[in-house]
Chain A
Amino acid sequence: QVQLQESGPGLVPPSQTLSLTCTVSGGSINAGSYFWSWIRQPAGKEPEWIGRIDTFMRSTKNPSLASRVAISADTSKNQVFLKLSSVTAADTAVYFCAREEANLGSAFGLWGQGARVTVSS
C-alpha cells in the first residue's frame, strides 16, 4: 500500500527558505500515470495547489508562487521536494503532498498526513 509522508522544519524564520520532503513508500514515484503535487492549506481556509512534478521530472507551478517555488525529486530515494523561498507569515500553513492520478480524472487519490509550517522569528 502506497503511503506519503511529509517532513521538514515546523518553524521557518521570515525571509528564509522553507524546505519540505515527501517520502513515498510502498511504490515507486516513477511508476504509473501519476503526478506528485504539493498543496498547502492555511488554517480555516481552502487548500491551495502549489505545483507538481511528473515521472519525467518536469515541474508545473502555480503562477502565483512560481517565482519562489522549486519542486524536484530523487527517484533513487523515492522522495519529492518542495522549496519555497523568501517566506512571510502568509506562507504559514499545513503543507501536503498528494498523488494526482490520471485514471481518476487527475483527482488526488492519495494524500500525506500534512506538515504544519509556521513562519515566525
Chain B
Amino acid sequence: DIQMTQSPSSLSASVGDSVTITCRASQSISSFLSWSQQKPGKAPKLLIYSASFLQSGVPSRFSGGGSGTDFTLTISRLQPEDFGTYYCQQTYSTPYTFGQGTKLELK
C-alpha cells in the first residue's frame, strides 16, 4: 500500500493568516493526489484534485501543488469557515489511501 504522511498533525491560525499543509507519498503517485476538508459529523468535501486543480465551487484562496511524492495545500486569507480537518488522498493505485489528517484550529 502507498503510505500518505501529512504534516503538521494540527495547526493553530487566525482569520486572515495563510497556512500550508504538506503531504508526502511513500512512492511516486504522479499527480493523483486530492485534498478534502471535513467538518465534524460531515462527509469530506473535495477541494483540490489532480494535485493542483480547484474543484468547482471552491474558493480560489485554496491552492495545491506538487507532483511525484511531495505535495502542498495552501490556504490564503483564512476565513472562519476554513477551520476543520484536512486530508490528502492518493488515487494512483488501489487500495486508495488517505493521510492521517491535519486539524486546523482557530487561534
Please report the C-alpha to C-alpha distance between residue A104 and residue B45 in the assembled complex, in whole angstroms.
Answer: 13
| Mask of A79-115 contacts with B, CB within 8 angstroms, 1/0 | 0000000000000000010101000111111011110
- In the bound complex, residues from chain A placing their C-beta under 8 Å from that of B31 are 105
Please report the C-alpha to C-alpha distance between residue A104 and residue B47 in the assembled complex, in whole angstroms.
Answer: 11
What is the size, in residues, of chain B's interface with A at 8 Å between Cβ atoms? 26
- In the bound complex, residues from chain A placing their C-beta under 8 Å from that of B71 are none
The answer to whether B50 touches A64 (Cβ under 8 A) is no
The answer to whether A104 touches B98 (Cβ under 8 A) is no
Q: Which chain B residue lies CB-closest to A106?
A: B91
Question: Given A46-B98, A64-B95, do A107 and B87 touch, yes or no (CB 8 Å)?
Answer: no
What is the size, in residues, of chain A's interface with B at 8 Å between Cβ atoms? 24
Please report the C-alpha to C-alpha distance between residue A31 and residue B43 in the assembled complex, in whole angstroms.
Answer: 23
- In the bound complex, residues from chain A placing their C-beta under 8 Å from that of B53 are 104-105
Question: Given A46-B98, A49-B97, do A109 and B55 touch, yes or no (CB 8 Å)?
Answer: yes
Please report the C-alpha to C-alpha distance between residue A100 and residue B96 in the assembled complex, in whole angstroms.
Answer: 11
Q: For chain B, what secondary structure do more than half of its interface residues adopt (helix, strand, loop), or is it mixed?
A: loop
Contacting residues of chain A (8-46) with chain B, CB-CB under 8 angstroms:
37, 45-46
The answer to whether B32 touches A105 (Cβ under 8 A) is yes
Q: Which of A45, A46, A47, A105 contacts B50 (CB 8 A)?
A: A105
- B contact set with A: CB distance below 8 Å: 31-34, 36, 42-46, 49-51, 53, 55, 87, 89, 91, 94-101
- A contact set with B: CB distance below 8 Å: 37, 45-49, 52, 60, 62-64, 96, 98, 100, 104-109, 111-114
10 chain-A/chain-B pairs, Cβ below 8 angstroms: A37-B96, A60-B94, A104-B50, A105-B32, A105-B49, A107-B49, A108-B34, A111-B43, A112-B43, A114-B43
Supplied contacts A49-B94, A113-B43, 14 more A-B pairs, CB within 8 Å: A49-B97, A62-B95, A63-B95, A104-B46, A104-B49, A104-B50, A105-B31, A105-B49, A105-B50, A105-B51, A107-B34, A107-B91, A108-B36, A111-B43
